[in-house]
Amino acid sequence: MPDVPISDYGFLSDCRSAALVSRGGSVDWWCPDRFDGPSVFGRLLDRDAGYWSLRPKEGTDPDGEDPDEEDPDGERARTERGYLEDALVLRTVHHTGTGSVAVVEALAVEPGARGHEIGRHSPAVLVRVVKGLTGTVRMRLDFVPRPEYGLLTPYLHSHPDRVVAAAGPTTLTLRAPVPLTCEPGRVHAEFDVTAGQVLGFDVAYSPAYGTGPPAELDPVAAVADTAEGWRAIRETHRYQGRYPELVRHSALVLQGLTYQRSGAVVAAATTSLPEQIATDRNYDYRYAWLRDFSFTMNALWVGACPEETSRLFGWAARSAGRIGVGPVPIMYGVEGERDLSEHDMDNLRGYADSRPVRTGNDAWRQRQLDVLGEVLAAAYRLREQMHEFDEELRELLVGLTEQAAATWRETDAGMWEARDEERHYLSSKVMCWVALDRAVQLAPLLGERADPQRWAAVRDEIRLAVLHSAWNDETGAYTGAFGSPELDASALILPLVHFLPATDPRMRATIHAIETRLTVDGLVRRWSGDPAGFVLCTFWLVECLALAGEYDRAVALFERTAAHANDVGLFAEQLAPATGEHLGNTPQALSHIGLINAAWRLTESAPAGR
């Protein structure tokens, strides 16, 4: 089976877990207990790691993906899809030579849950409703569960209206209104759907040794209720700027990447989708980074969602705990877990033979000084929405500020989480400056431990060091690290955090150098050896061009970049030059955050009358 393009996947969420479903109708990824839990469908990373396919039989190989095969009458089958308006409910229409059928699918929310209540008590049920549109379509169902990342083949227990798959700690219950045939390790069915007919299917997860049976839902009612639950979120999004539909959709994706029980926002829904095919640049992004948290808070500010800010800061304060003398942890599990030690899953071949497949992420051990400033920047941006800071938040912000003052001269791994030697990264120094600058301005809200006079002195010292040591005459730009001639797209943050205006001559030269030397086919790479464009960095360039007064060029770059989203508006982490192929984990929070912030920047930077 050839690997399905990463851009072929749609995203479903119940704010507890995520599922990815291909254009061909196969759920190839689902970790039902929580985002960073073991998968039960893992064909995304290995053809033998499980899936649930529901699609027209025409041209179907039960183990394949052929959404546009020719049908028996010689006509080309077509597939089109989209989300229901303002909802993470996916509708896929299959047109065949004998008729058309729609499959509407979602991770069900708790009955009656609305808006930000989604995910607090998720039933852990994947629902799929088949609706006949025209003619008669022969459908095929294949259910091949493989819990624990494909390590387990379950026992199958057949009942009149369901099949129960049990293995290890996991129980999956497939319910269907059609006869099901069991074979060792798999279930299949074939059935006809005629115009006007509606059939509901679902798979419910439950722990093998849980306290109760799996949830039982009416799939048709669950789809409708889930759509209404998601639509309630739009009432809290009051964005009034440019590209409102794109911003609203990206905000919805961010909500879908939120683990509602704690408020943590995961970086992506997947692990080990490669940054470069057939290499080892494969990482687990199903965790919550303080950096991403800060960027998310800014996106929520743009989207005017103040009710989420206090809870998200509460998650950050609880996860970090009391800040001591050691490095501040830069990432956590979705419930605040600290130890995220990395493991290689040797049983999985990886997407497009890109090994290793990793669970856990050893970046949790790194020192990344930029996160200090990112959290302070978010607090400063959202100070009016929060009104006052409770004791835990004050302790967090003061602790981070003191860390910045004490450690800014040290080397670190940088925001790109380099796994070689530490360096004096420009972005880390600048964000330490941000930490102290924002803390000085927040001092009246930070209690008795605030020391704005000392903080201001250290802030000014950092600024002088950056201006002196980060500029490279040979390169003619601010470079990625002190003493290095290598360009790095992270330098684009300087105008965005108000360290330097985009119109400053040296900053203009840096923007121009990044645009001409790191940009390929309109996509900004992080450094010269980066094989693909990084979506977030490309949106940073949009913001910098707008701030530099090059508004029309900024708009053109924004629209060209936004057009690289897949057919249901999702971005992975990176885009391949020339082809626009999606690479890296998906959907990627930072990519959607970049879109939101760039749209807002174009709004506030627009010339009069535009």
- b/e burial code for range 32-60 (CB count within 10 A of at least 16 → b): bbbbbbbbbbbbbbbbbbbbbbbbbbbbb
User: DSSP letter string over 35-72?
Assistant: TTSPPSB-TTT-TTS-EEEEEESTT--TT---TTPBPT
Tokens at 498, concatenated: 């108000």
Residue 342 inside a domain? The answer is: no
Tokens at 106, concatenated: 């979602």
Residue 480 inside a domain? The answer is: no
- b/e burial code for range 360-397 (CB count within 10 A of at least 16 → b): bbebbebbbbbbbbbbbbbbbbbbebeeebeebbbbbb
CA distance 100 to 177: 20
CA distance 439 to 401: 7
- Whether 525 and 489 have beta carbons less than 8 Å apart is answered as yes
pLDDT at site 291 = 85
Digit-coded pLDDT (tens) for 33-86: 999 999 999 999 999 999 999 999 975 555 545 444 444 444 557 999 999 999
Residue 187 inside a domain? The answer is: yes
Digit-coded pLDDT (tens) for 47-57: 999 999 999 99
- Whether 497 and 377 have beta carbons less than 8 Å apart is answered as yes
The torsion angles phi and psi of 241, rounded to 5 degrees, stand at -95, -160
Element housing 542 (H / E): helix 535-547
Residue 313 inside a domain? The answer is: no
**Number of separate domains in the chain:** 1
Digit-coded pLDDT (tens) for 285-342: 999 998 887 788 777 777 655 556 666 777 777 787 777 667 788 899 999 999 999 9
Question: Residue 57 corresponds to which amino acid?
Answer: K
State which residues of the chain have pLDDT below 70.
1-2, 59-76, 303-311, 324-325, 387
pLDDT at site 138 = 97
Residue 131 inside a domain? The answer is: yes
Residue 198 inside a domain? The answer is: yes
CA distance 222 to 384: 38
Q: Which residues pair with 158 in a beta bridge?
A: 163
- Length of the chain equals 610
pLDDT at site 306 = 54
pLDDT mean across residues, the chain: 92
pLDDT at site 299 = 77
CA distance 164 to 154: 9
**Domain extent at residue 127:** 6-234
Element housing 230 (H / E): helix 219-231
For residue 95, how many C-alpha atoms fall within 13 Å in the half-sphere facing its CB? 7
Residue 247 inside a domain? The answer is: no
Residue 121 inside a domain? The answer is: yes
Question: Residue 317 corresponds to which amino acid?
Answer: A
CATH of residue 227? 2.70.98
Q: DSSP 3-state assignment of 397? A: helix
